[in-house]
């Protein structure tokens, strides 16, 4: 197959696909549509929990973005669940984006303010470092 024929084959394929997609859109049943998420969907996971008396705090790691991603740490005072769009059923009590040029050394929870104090050391983190972070109680 020469270059011209390859191009024509590629073009035909695109047009056929487009035509079929128009048919698909026209035939879609809008009543049974699943919830449409913003693309791409964040990668989210509960990475640690800390029990303090009767309360349990949950540390969540979230990766968001397309080619240039951000990593976010969230704190919840109840166990969150996430839907197919990675949205939580409750609001975090604290959240912040991580500095990806430095390595997190400690994450301290201040019980009075329910804020996190994130400590860094120099150097970029390894691939799995930020998903294995632990929550620590800040000394009063």
Nearest to 35 by CA among 86, 100, 98: 86
Q: Which of residues 42-81 bind another protein (CB under 8 A)?
A: 42-43, 63-70, 72
Q: Is 122 in the site for another protein (CB under 8 A)?
A: no
Q: Is 5 in the site for another protein (CB under 8 A)?
A: no
Question: Near another protein by CB under 8 A, which window of 49-57, 83-91, 111-119, 132-140?
Answer: 83-91
| One of 95, 108, 115, 118 touching another protein (CB under 8 A) | 95
**Alpha-carbon gap, residue 44 to 63, rounded angstroms:** 6
| One of 7, 79, 99, 134 touching another protein (CB under 8 A) | 99
Nearest to 58 by CA among 67, 47, 69: 47
**Alpha-carbon gap, residue 104 to 116, rounded angstroms:** 12
Nearest to 119 by CA among 102, 132, 131: 102
| One of 8, 11, 38, 89 touching another protein (CB under 8 A) | 38
CB-CB contact of 73 with 95 (8 Å): yes
Q: Is 24 in the site for another protein (CB under 8 A)?
A: yes
Token reading at 104: 């997190």
Q: Which residues of the chain form contacts with another protein (CB under 8 A)?
A: 13, 17, 20-21, 24-25, 28, 32, 34-43, 63-70, 72, 84-86, 95-97, 99-102, 120, 127-128, 131
């Amino acid at each position: 197959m020469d270059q011209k024929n390859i191009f024509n084959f590629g073009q035909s394929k695109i047009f056929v696909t487009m035509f079929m997609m128009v048919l698909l859109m026209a035939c879609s049943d809008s009543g049974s549509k699943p919830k449409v998420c913003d693309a791409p969907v964040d990668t989210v996971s509960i990475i640690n929990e800390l029990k303090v008396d009767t309360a349990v705090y949950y540390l969540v790691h979230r990766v968001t973005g397309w080619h240039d991603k951000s990593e976010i740490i969230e704190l919840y005072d109840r166990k969150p669940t996430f839907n197919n769009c990675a949205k939580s059923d409750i609001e975090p009590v604290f959240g912040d984006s991580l500095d990806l040029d430095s390595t997190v050394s400690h994450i301290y929870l201040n019980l009075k303010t329910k804020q996190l104090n994130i400590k860094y050391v120099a150097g970029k983190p390894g691939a799995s470092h930020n998903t294995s972070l632990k929550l620590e109680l800040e000394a009063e």
